[in-house]
């Protein structure tokens, strides 16, 4: 609710001089909240407002046109009257009538001089941290503003800055773009001016409620970047440093491999270009935000360790995990990982495929191909459901598939070949099924 508006009109003095505090007869009817109600210059109503509002009206006057330049209100001079109508209550005032009760026959209203300031109502928009928004005219800052005169109006801000930073570009038609600064969550505000076709103005305040954070990574970025959607990180390691608990990291697939691996924070979600970002992140894009269309998986590798290391309670969608650092490393590694949700993930690695210990997994891989390591697949005290899809499990120095304890339902259609130890070793499993749908070749046992 906007709680103040101004009404202006001019009158010409006749006959005897009149002091500027003279009160005129003029009746103005206007609804403070509903656009399109006419301004009436005649009437005999009394001031009325609903019980739940507090309305005040203050009138001031100025010598608008001093014909003879003597700084006195003389016959033929023009006075301009300004009436400020304010509602200090917390309820909209509908069908409010303002009556100027004093008649003065020495003054004549100048035809066409009655003007009302536009009303700039405050606006609030939802924003995801690090993520650019664009609002067209229909949802811009002028969409809920009005001009009681029925005229046109424009928006401006100079400079267009927010209380806590960020970048705002505001167009005259009220459409705008906003980019929050990297890493911030909280409330940002800026003030804009609405100007009508008579040059009268009002102001409105825009509040951006910035919640959650998506860190954006794009190997095609021009520079190091800041992790925002308009200035993404070029390297995955930058997102590793910047991101925190419960954040989202989105990785574009531009054809290049992301090196150095990634260690996830607790509650963090790693979303690749090969999956739906809304599903992976758990975030609904607010009005003005468009998530990237699903493409193909980006590939992550690490020449010095595990490719992807879990924290606790993670989500991983739409990535391909490639080569790891050594035979002791895995493409996916997690210990005491709480819960993990894995969808649309492919593993194609030169060493161990995945090693999970103590936790609950809901995992559907596209395929898992592992060509080495101590084990191709190692599960210890894992519950939930794991479907590894197809692929090939070969070259392990120990058991190819090693499952100890837990109640997980496990399945794979991969071919399994082992010449050093057992192709499959299952011990102390207390529940859940284990299903193999591919050929199993074991020389040692």
Q: Please give the average per-residue pLDDT across 212-241, as a whole number.
A: 98
Does pTM surpass 0.75?
yes
At residue 148 the predicted structure's pLDDT band, cuts being 50, 70 and 90, is confident
Instruction: Check pLDDT > 80 for residue 52.
Output: no
Instruction: Check pLDDT > 70 for residue 40.
Output: no
At residue 211 the predicted structure's pLDDT band, cuts being 50, 70 and 90, is very high
pLDDT value of position 45: 34
Instruction: Check pLDDT > 60 for residue 121.
Output: yes
Tokens of 37: 């109600």
Give the model confidence (pLDDT) of 373-392 as tens digits.
Answer: 999 999 999 999 999 999 99
Place of tokens 């210890």: 380
Measured distance CA(428)–CA(405) in Å, rounded: 5
Give the model confidence (pLDDT) of 309-348 as tens digits.
Answer: 999 999 999 999 999 999 999 999 999 999 999 999 999 9
Domains assigned to the chain: 123-210 (2.60.40.10), 213-442 (no CATH)
Measured in degrees and rounded to the nearest 5, phi and psi for residue 137 equal: -55, -45
**% of the chain beyond a pLDDT of 70:** 84
Tokens of 236: 């995955």
Nearest to 97 by CA among 149, 49, 134, 162: 49
Instruction: Check pLDDT > 70 for residue 239.
Output: yes
Measured distance CA(358)–CA(355) in Å, rounded: 10
pLDDT value of position 425: 97
Q: Please give the average per-residue pLDDT across 294-307, as a whole number.
A: 98
Give the model confidence (pLDDT) of 181-194 as tens digits.
Answer: 999 999 999 999 99
Nearest to 305 by CA among 329, 331, 333: 329
Greatest mean pLDDT among 13-22, 74-83, 196-205 lies in 196-205
Tokens of 132: 């650019």
Query: What angle is formed at CA 105 by the lines to CA 100 and CA 108, rounded to 5 degrees?
Result: 80
Mean pLDDT of the chain: 86
- E strand or H helix that includes residue 217: strand 201-217
Strand partners, 30: none
pLDDT value of position 445: 52
Torsion of CA 37, 42, 43, 49, to 10 degrees: 40
Q: 229-259 as b/e, with b when 16 or more CB fall inside 10 Å? A: bebbbbbbebbbebbeeebbbbbbbeeeebb
pLDDT value of position 6: 57
- E strand or H helix that includes residue 236: helix 236-242
Instruction: Check pLDDT > 70 for residue 232.
Output: yes
At residue 170 the predicted structure's pLDDT band, cuts being 50, 70 and 90, is very high
Instruction: Check pLDDT > 70 for residue 173.
Output: yes
Instruction: Check pLDDT > 80 for residue 102.
Output: no
Instruction: Check pLDDT > 60 for residue 35.
Output: no
Helices marked H in 50-160 — which ranges?
none
DSSP 332-350: EEEEEEEEEEEEEEEEEES
Greatest mean pLDDT among 63-77, 79-93, 164-178 lies in 164-178
Q: Are 245 and 269 in contact (CB under 8 A)?
A: no
Q: Are 85 and 5 in contact (CB under 8 A)?
A: yes
At residue 231 the predicted structure's pLDDT band, cuts being 50, 70 and 90, is very high
C-alpha gyration radius of the chain: 35
Instruction: Check pLDDT > 60 for residue 53.
Output: yes
Q: Please give the average per-residue pLDDT across 219-242, as a whole number.
A: 98
pLDDT value of position 33: 30
């Amino acid at each position: 609710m906007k709680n103040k508006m101004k009404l202006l009109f001019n009158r010409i003095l006749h006959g005897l001089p009149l002091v500027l505090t003279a009160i005129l007869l003029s009746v103005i009817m206007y609804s403070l909240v509903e656009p399109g109600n006419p301004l009436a210059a005649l009437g005999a109503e009394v001031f009325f407002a609903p019980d739940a509002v507090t309305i005040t009206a203050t009138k001031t006057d100025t010598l608008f046109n001093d014909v003879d330049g003597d700084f006195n209100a003389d016959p033929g001079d023009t006075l301009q009257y300004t009436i400020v109508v304010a509602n200090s209550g917390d309820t909209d005032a509908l069908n409010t009538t303002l009556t100027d009760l004093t008649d003065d026959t020495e003054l004549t209203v100048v035809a066409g001089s009655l003007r009302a300031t536009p009303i700039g109502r405050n606006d609030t928009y939802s924003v995801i941290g690090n993520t650019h928004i664009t609002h067209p005219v229909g949802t811009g800052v002028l969409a809920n503003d009005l001009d009681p005169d029925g005229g046109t109006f424009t928006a401006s801000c100079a400079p267009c800055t927010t209380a806590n930073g960020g970048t705002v570009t505001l167009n005259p038609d009220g459409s705008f773009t906003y980019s929050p600064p990297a890493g911030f969550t909280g409330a940002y505000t800026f003030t804009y001016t609405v100007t009508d076709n008579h040059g009268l103005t009002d102001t409105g305040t825009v509040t951006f409620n910035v919640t959650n954070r998506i860190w954006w990574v794009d190997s095609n970025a021009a520079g190091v970047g800041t992790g925002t959607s308009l200035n993404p990180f070029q390297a995955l390691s930058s997102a590793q440093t910047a991101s925190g608990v419960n954040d989202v990291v989105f990785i574009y697939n531009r054809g290049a491999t992301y090196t150095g691996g990634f260690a996830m924070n607790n509650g963090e979600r790693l979303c690749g270009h090969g999956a739906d970002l809304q599903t992976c992140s758990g975030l609904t894009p607010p009005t003005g935000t468009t998530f990237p269309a699903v493409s193909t998986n980006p590939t992550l590798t690490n020449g010095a360790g595990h490719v992807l290391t879990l924290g606790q309670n993670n989500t991983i969608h739409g990535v391909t995990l490639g080569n790891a650092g050594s035979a002791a490393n895995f493409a996916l590694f997690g210990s005491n990982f709480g819960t993990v949700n894995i969808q649309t993930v492919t593993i194609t690695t030169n060493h161990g495929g995945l090693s999970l210990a103590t936790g609950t997994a809901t995992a559907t891989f596209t395929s898992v191909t592992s060509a080495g390591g101590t084990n191709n697949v190692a599960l210890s005290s894992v519950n939930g459901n794991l479907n590894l899809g197809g692929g090939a499990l070969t070259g392990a120095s120990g058991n190819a598939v090693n499952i100890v304890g837990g109640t997980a339902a496990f399945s794979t259609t991969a071919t399994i070949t082992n010449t050093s130890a057992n192709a499959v070793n299952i011990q102390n499993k207390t529940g859940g099924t284990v299903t193999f749908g591919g050929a199993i070749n074991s020389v040692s046992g």
